[in-house]
């Protein structure tokens, strides 16, 4: 695929432009405080990565700028410390540091409650003693105004008494809520006396059983921003219609220097699901092996797949930030990881589906050390020595018995280069009773050590190989896109049945066996791989995950079938 940087009409970063303007004009006192506010109810995904890069990037625009990590932990029944830990780990791995600024909305429960009493005393909030269905029914809709609750005009004293009872756990779940008293006729549905607190007798992973009431998102979010002195509360577009309410609360509480909400278009990716609810479903129904399954678009999954933080950050940078939602071609993400790994990953040789090749004129017991580049075109990366002997494995698909004219790989009578080692010609194809090729016999040119002919004749084809006596056995997991449809809204129907193929008995260059987990390599001519974080044990068991093939086979396939990619 083409370099996406050459695409025209790329979005820039209008939020950064705004912050730069403010810094220049001194609005907001030259302060830049942003926050990333995940709810700990799932793992972070590539969409969150976009938001993380944006928020930490804005903070970096000023030397004193900072980005807070705030856990929006207001729904105890779906949240857990496991998710908190995973979120911290993933942001750190991406390369961002929130320093001492780690906060939890639950840290503010006391302050939020005190503010709620304040609004009650000002006549700006009341306890509605009806069930939620009744409240919902009388809210009206886009065409129909809402109706006032019969409890809307309770006295301040009565409201305070009921709110205190709610807090003390003296009222049943569903029997009362605290609502802001705004306007049931408002055209803005969010302003029709929105809920602030509901009763939930649930244990919270941080506050335990202290609270029987929990704040709603809109009541917690802006106020948390205000407590932390956030200047820019950057969130995705679905919050545009929350903004009037966000501002209403800050005004009602007479917050000085209130935070400002700015919305941007969230990331949607083709062939990818970015909804925590759907990702949770994939995990719970075991369509994947967990949140960090290498096919998942989670940061943990991408990490295990072999992505680098640099590639993810470069991707986020390149797609920019826009004011509307769009779908980004997943090819851009794949391009970013290929580009990074091409420059940084050490080359190794590995044969995924081995076919034995025996050199019949090889001197008995001879072992030759082929010298190969660690990273081509990068002299600093140096070279490595790879043992070569008279019995090697080559890739089954690099041999064809009845080869067409333009086949440059192994075929009877055709001279081919074993990369960096020798020139060989297949003379004999050994088959089993079923007629399958089990071994190739060939001769080599003893004057071709290093892979080039002494007389200077040109040999066009080059294949990779692994010396049979030195090979390391490995399990290789070939991952592909989790979804076969570019729009996988129909979650289970869209799953790609071939998203994982597990190969065993693969033969790899020695040395790979000693690599620690999470080492990224390129298997020459094959693809980018990473030693698995969980199952690869140095010196004992080699397990590689394929990050991505070298070439973009989907683009080719799509082109062949005449479909837009
Ligand atoms: P939900 O609210 O349904 O649990 P969520 O993905 O919005 O899912 P949050 O934990 O609330 O999860 O998200 C934290 C932050 O990440 C929010 O500020 C949100 O705007 C941002 N975010 C989430 N998804 C994306 C996305 N696809 N692109 C950009 N930002 C995103
Ligand atoms: Mg959210």
Q: What percentage of the chain carries pLDDT values higher than 90? A: 94
Is the pLDDT confidence value at 10 over 90?
no
Cβ neighbourhood burial of 458 (10 Å; 0-12, 13-18, 19+): exposed
Q: What is the CATH number of the domain that holds 90?
A: 3.40.50.620
Is there a catalytic annotation at residue 39? Answer: yes
Is the pLDDT confidence value at 551 over 90?
no
Same domain, yes or no: 365 and 327? no
* Ligand 2 centre distance from Cα of residue 242 (Å): 12
342: helix, strand or coil: helix
- Ligand 1 pocket mutation, candidates 37, 40, 51, 262, criterion most atoms within 8 A of CB: 51
Same domain, yes or no: 66 and 170? no
Residue 274 lies in a domain: no
Structure tokens at 274: 């970015």
What is the per-residue pLDDT across 194-244, written as a single tens digit (0 to 9) for each? Answer: 999 999 999 999 999 999 999 999 999 999 999 999 999 999 999 999 999
Closest atom, ligand 1, to C-alpha of 236 = 20
What are residue 279's DSSP bridge partners? none
Confidence of residue 552 (pLDDT cuts 50, 70, 90): low
Helix then strand then coil, in percent of the chain rounded to 5, is: 30, 25, 45
Structure tokens at 19: 């912050």
Same domain, yes or no: 82 and 125? no
Ligand nearest to the CA of 75: 1
Ligand nearest to the CA of 48: 1
* Ligand 1 centre distance from Cα of residue 47 (Å): 7
Q: What is the CATH number of the domain that holds 536?
A: 2.40.240.10
Closest atom, ligand 1, to C-alpha of 239 = 20
Report whether 441 contacts 394 (CB < 8 A): no
CA nearest ligand 1 atom 10, residue: 38
Query: Higher model confidence: residue 5 or residue 487?
Result: 487
Same domain, yes or no: 459 and 491? no
Q: What percentage of the chain carries pLDDT values higher than 70? A: 96
Answer yes or no: is the C-beta of 38 below 6 A from any ligand 1 atom: yes
Residue 496 lies in a domain: yes
Same domain, yes or no: 459 and 484? no
* DSSP run (H or E) holding 472: strand 472-479
Candidate list 35, 66, 266, 303, residue with the active-site label: 266
Q: How many CB atoms lie within 10 A of CB 132?
A: 12
Answer yes or no: is the C-beta of 78 below 6 A from any ligand 1 atom: no
For 137-162, letters b (16+ CB in 10 Å) and e give: ebbeeeeeebeebebeebeeeebeeb
- Ligand 1 pocket mutation, candidates 44, 68, 236, criterion most atoms within 8 A of CB: 236
Residue 257 lies in a domain: yes
pLDDT at 557: 57
Residue 279 lies in a domain: no
pLDDT at 553: 62
Last residue of a domain, one of 440, 467, 494: 467
Ligand nearest to the CA of 273: 1
Is there a catalytic annotation at residue 501? Answer: no
Is the pLDDT confidence value at 4 over 90?
no
* Locus of tokens 């009773």: 433
Q: Nearest CA to 527 among 359, 362, 294, 337?
A: 337
* Ligand 2 centre distance from Cα of residue 413 (Å): 64
Same domain, yes or no: 165 and 248? no
Q: Say how many domains are in the chain.
A: 4
Is the pLDDT confidence value at 351 over 90?
yes
What is the per-residue pLDDT across 13-42, written as a single tens digit (0 to 9) for each? Answer: 999 999 999 999 999 999 999 999 999 999
Answer yes or no: is the C-beta of 266 below 6 A from any ligand 1 atom: yes
What is the per-residue pLDDT across 128-160, written as a single tens digit (0 to 9) for each? Answer: 999 999 999 999 999 999 999 999 999 999 999
Alpha-carbon distance 383 to 314, whole Å?
28
Same domain, yes or no: 517 and 542? yes
Same domain, yes or no: 162 and 254? no
Answer yes or no: is the C-beta of 55 below 6 A from any ligand 1 atom: no
Same domain, yes or no: 336 and 226? yes
Q: Going along 129-236, which residue ranges are E strands?
A: 177-180, 195-199, 213-215, 232-236
Candidate list 20, 28, 31, 39, residue with the active-site label: 39
Answer yes or no: is the C-beta of 40 below 6 A from any ligand 1 atom: no
Alpha-carbon distance 435 to 448, whole Å?
33
Structure tokens at 56: 């930490």
What is the per-residue pLDDT across 58-104, written as a single tens digit (0 to 9) for each? Answer: 999 999 999 999 999 999 999 999 999 999 999 999 999 999 999 99
Over the chain, what is the mean pLDDT?
Answer: 95
Residue 282 lies in a domain: no
What value, to the nearest 5°, has the Cα angle with vertex 178 and ends 175 and 184? 105
What are residue 548's DSSP bridge partners? 528
Is the pLDDT confidence value at 565 over 80?
no
Is there a catalytic annotation at residue 266? Answer: yes
Q: Nearest CA to 37 among 81, 109, 98?
A: 98
What is the per-residue pLDDT across 446-472, written as a single tens digit (0 to 9) for each? Answer: 999 999 999 999 999 999 999 999 999
* Ligand 1 centre distance from Cα of residue 45 (Å): 9
What value, to the nearest 5°, has the Cα angle with vertex 486 and ends 482 and 487? 100
Same domain, yes or no: 208 and 231? no
Same domain, yes or no: 332 and 357? no
| Structural domain range at position 444 | 351-467
Alpha-carbon distance 475 to 502, whole Å?
7
Q: Name all contacts of 530-538 with Cβ < 8 Å and 24+ positions apart.
A: 530/304, 530/305, 530/306, 532/304, 532/477, 533/292, 533/303, 533/304, 534/304, 535/475, 538/513, 538/514
Last residue of a domain, one of 215, 231, 248: 215
The mean pLDDT value for 532-546 works out to 97
Closest atom, ligand 1, to C-alpha of 275 = 6
Please state the pTM of the whole predicted model. 0.93
Residue 247 lies in a domain: yes
Answer yes or no: is the C-beta of 242 below 6 A from any ligand 1 atom: no
Answer yes or no: is the C-beta of 304 below 6 A from any ligand 1 atom: no
Same domain, yes or no: 234 and 207? no
Report whether 120 contacts 159 (CB < 8 A): yes
What DSSP string runs through 381-445?
G-EEEEEE-SEEEEEGGGB-SS--TT--SB-BT-EEEETTTEEEEEEEEEE-TTS-EEEEEEEE-
Last residue of a domain, one of 435, 467, 499: 467
Answer yes or no: is the C-beta of 50 below 6 A from any ligand 1 atom: yes
Ligand nearest to the CA of 42: 1
Q: Nearest CA to 384 among 392, 394, 395, 376?
A: 376
Residue 289 lies in a domain: no
Residue 280 lies in a domain: no
């Amino acid at each position: 695929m083409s370099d996406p940087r050459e695409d025209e009409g790329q979005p820039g970063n209008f939020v950064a432009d705004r912050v730069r303007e403010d810094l220049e004009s001194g609005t907001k006192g030259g302060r830049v405080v942003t926050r990333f506010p995940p709810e700990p109810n799932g793992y972070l995904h590539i969409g969150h990565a976009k938001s993380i890069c944006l928020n930490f990037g804005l903070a970096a625009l000023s030397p004193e700028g900072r980005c807070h990590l705030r856990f929006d932990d207001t729904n105890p029944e779906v949240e857990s410390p496991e998710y908190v830990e995973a979120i911290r780990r993933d942001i750190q791995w991406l390369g961002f540091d929130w320093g001492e600024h780690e906060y939890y909305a639950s840290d503010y429960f006391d302050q939020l409650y005190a503010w709620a009493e304040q609004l009650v005393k000002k006549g700006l909030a009341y306890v509605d003693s009806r069930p939620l269905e009744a409240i919902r029914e009388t809210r009206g809709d886009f065409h129909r105004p809402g109706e006032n609750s019969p409890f809307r005009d309770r006295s301040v004293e009565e409201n305070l008494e009921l709110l205190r009872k709610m807090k003390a756990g003296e009222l049943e779940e569903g029997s009362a809520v605290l609502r802001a008293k705004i306007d049931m006729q408002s055209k803005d549905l969010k302003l029709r006396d929105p809920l602030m607190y509901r009763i939930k007798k649930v244990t919270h992973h941080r506050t335990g059983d202290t609270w029987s009431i929990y704040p709603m998102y809109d009541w917690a979010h802006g106020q948390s921003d205000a407590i932390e002195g956030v200047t820019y509360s950057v969130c995705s577009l679905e919050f545009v219609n929350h903004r009037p309410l966000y501002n209403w609360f800050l005004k009602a509480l007479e917050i000085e220097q209130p935070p400002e909400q700015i919305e941007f278009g969230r990331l949607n990716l083709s062939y990818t699901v970015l909804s925590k609810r759907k990702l949770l479903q994939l995990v719970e129904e075991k369509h994947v092996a967990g949140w960090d399954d290498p096919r998942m678009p989670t940061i943990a999954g991408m990490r295990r797949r072999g992505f680098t933080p640099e590639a993810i950050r470069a991707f986020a940078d390149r797609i920019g930030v826009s004011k509307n939602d769009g779908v980004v071609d997943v090819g851009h993400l794949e391009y970013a990881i290929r580009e990074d790994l091409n420059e940084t990953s050490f080359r190794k040789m590995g044969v995924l589906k081995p076919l034995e090749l025996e050199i019949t004129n090889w001197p008995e017991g001879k072992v030759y050390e082929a010298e190969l580049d660690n990273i081509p075109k990068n002299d600093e990366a140096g070279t490595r020595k790879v043992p070569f002997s008279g019995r090697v494995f080559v890739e089954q698909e690099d041999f064809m018995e009845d080869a067409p004219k333009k086949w440059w790989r192994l075929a009877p009578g055709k001279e081919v280069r074993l990369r960096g080692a020798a020139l060989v010609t297949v003379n004999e194809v050994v088959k089993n009773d079923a007629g399958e090729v089990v071994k190739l016999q060939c001769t080599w040119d003893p004057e071709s050590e290093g892979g080039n002919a002494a007389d200077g004749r040109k040999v066009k084809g080059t294949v990779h190989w692994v010396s049979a006596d030195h090979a390391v056995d490995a399990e290789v997991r070939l991952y592909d896109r989790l979804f076969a449809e570019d729009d996988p809204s129909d979650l289970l129907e869209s799953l790609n049945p071939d998203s994982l193929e597990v190969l065993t008995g693969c033969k790899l260059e020695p040395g790979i066996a000693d690599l620690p987990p999470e080492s990224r390599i390129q298997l020459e001519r094959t693809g980018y791989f990473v030693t698995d974080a969980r199952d690869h044990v140095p010196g004992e068991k080699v397990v590689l995950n394929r990050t991505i093939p070298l070439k973009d086979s989907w683009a080719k396939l799509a082109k062949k079938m005449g479909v837009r990619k």
